[in-house]
Structure 1
Amino acid sequence: MVHVGYAAPRAGVPAAASFRRWVEAALRGAKRRRATELSIRIVDVAEGRALNRDYRGKDYATNVLSFGADLPPGVQLPLIGDIVICAPVVAREAAEQGKAPRDHWAHLTVHGVLHLLGHDHIIEAEAEVMEALETRILAGLGIADPYRP
């Protein structure tokens, strides 16, 4: 189950059904077969910056943040966490990179889901695995490799 909340103007932001489709593609691509629940919150620059500052110590709005669920011991829920996507940053990046905005939204959604599933890109070898998985998932959605120049 995917919950989508909009805390930023909706202009240029995909509908909840698109986010759900992209999340499902990411879960399938990562071979996640059990029930899964997560939330996606679309935010403006002020909220994106505050969250990035408060949780990562970086005083700027970033494109996507993933917050894994920290469930108490013994609590068995399908919740894996929350994804926060900053709408103005996504729009700016898509324009700067010459990407279709919808493709960039899809990429960042898939990227966020993979983080919630334990993937990371700090170490180069892990980054290569994560990027290859993202590329394969996005190709299944008809979206070009976001890492190709």
Structure 2
Amino acid sequence: MLDIAIDADPEWDSSDWGALARSAAEAAIAESAFPQLGRGAREVELSIRLTSDEEVRALNAEWRGKDKPTNVLSFPMSEPDELADTAGEGPELMLGDIILARGVCLAEAAEKSIPVEKHAAHLMVHGTLHLLGYDHHDDAEAEDMEAREVRALARLGIEDPYGDRC
């Protein structure tokens, strides 16, 4: 079973963030190397916090040494071998935490002329893939992660956010 803990500051509007977070996480997991996550007897959990730019700036400064807000932060709590061994029973597997910054998310959605919910879904997919061990430190990793994001977003009926590339 997949359990999503969602915590949204009051400034985030009244959208159904819980349903969106579940759909985004499930789509990302389905496009990962671990599509079995959340389908076995072992419980799998991740948390998503929708918060202010100020809180994200502080976390970004503390954990990444960058004193500015960013759109999404991910804090993985599981190792790849734990992710691969989820079909059977065992203790709950905590994937980690995803944190989205409201102001950055709103500004980016406006810049792309898309609803904030679509952009937040993209950021949740991106964050979930980070929790599953994907990254974009080099071109090959970035291409793989981006392709997984695009496929996951297609599952949600969201167009390719990278479609404007040359």
TM-score w.r.t. the length of structure 1 is 0.90
| Structure 2 counterpart of 1:50 | 58
Equivalent residue in structure 2 for 1:64, among 69, 72, 77: 72
Contact kept, 8 Å, 1:13 with 1:87, in 2: the verdict is no
Change beyond 3 A, Cα 1:147–1:14: farther
Contact kept, 8 Å, 2:95 with 2:131, in 1: the verdict is yes
1:1-149 alignment, distance < 5 Å: 1-11=3-13, 14-30=16-32, 31-35=34-38, 36-69=44-77, 76-149=91-164
Displacement of 1:12 in angstroms is 6.5
| Structure 1: gaps (5+ residues) | none
| Corresponding letter in the other structure for 2:130 | H
Task: Please give the alpha-carbon distance, in whole angstroms, between the structure 2 residues aligned to 1:14 and 1:45.
Answer: 21
Contact kept, 8 Å, 2:23 with 2:156, in 1: the verdict is no
| Structure 2: gaps (5+ residues) | 39-43, 80-89
Deviations 1:34-81 (A, max 9, x none): 33210001110110100011000011110000001168xxx9431110
Task: Please give the alpha-carbon distance, in whole angstroms, between the structure 2 residues aligned to 1:118 and 1:29.
Answer: 13
Q: What percentage of aligned pairs have identical amino acids?
A: 44
Deviations 1:74-98 (A, max 9, x none): x943111000011111000111122
Change beyond 3 A, Cα 1:44–1:32: same
Report the secondary structure of 2:59's partner residue.
Answer: helix
Displacement of 1:19 in angstroms is 1.0
Task: Please give the alpha-carbon distance, in whole angstroms, between the structure 2 residues aligned to 1:95 and 1:12.
Answer: 18
Contact kept, 8 Å, 1:40 with 1:84, in 2: the verdict is yes
RMSD (Å), alpha carbons: 2.0
Contact kept, 8 Å, 1:103 with 1:143, in 2: the verdict is yes
Change beyond 3 A, Cα 1:102–1:117: same
TM-score w.r.t. the length of structure 2 is 0.81
Report the secondary structure of 1:113's partner residue.
Answer: helix
Moved over 6 A (4+): none
Residues paired across the two proteins, number: 147
Deviations 1:110-138 (A, max 9, x none): 00000000000110110000001100111
Task: Please give the alpha-carbon distance, in whole angstroms, between the structure 2 residues aligned to 1:8 and 1:123.
Answer: 37
Task: Please give the alpha-carbon distance, in whole angstroms, between the structure 1 residues aligned to 2:155 and 2:9.
Answer: 29
Greater shift after overlay, 44-53 or 4-13? 4-13
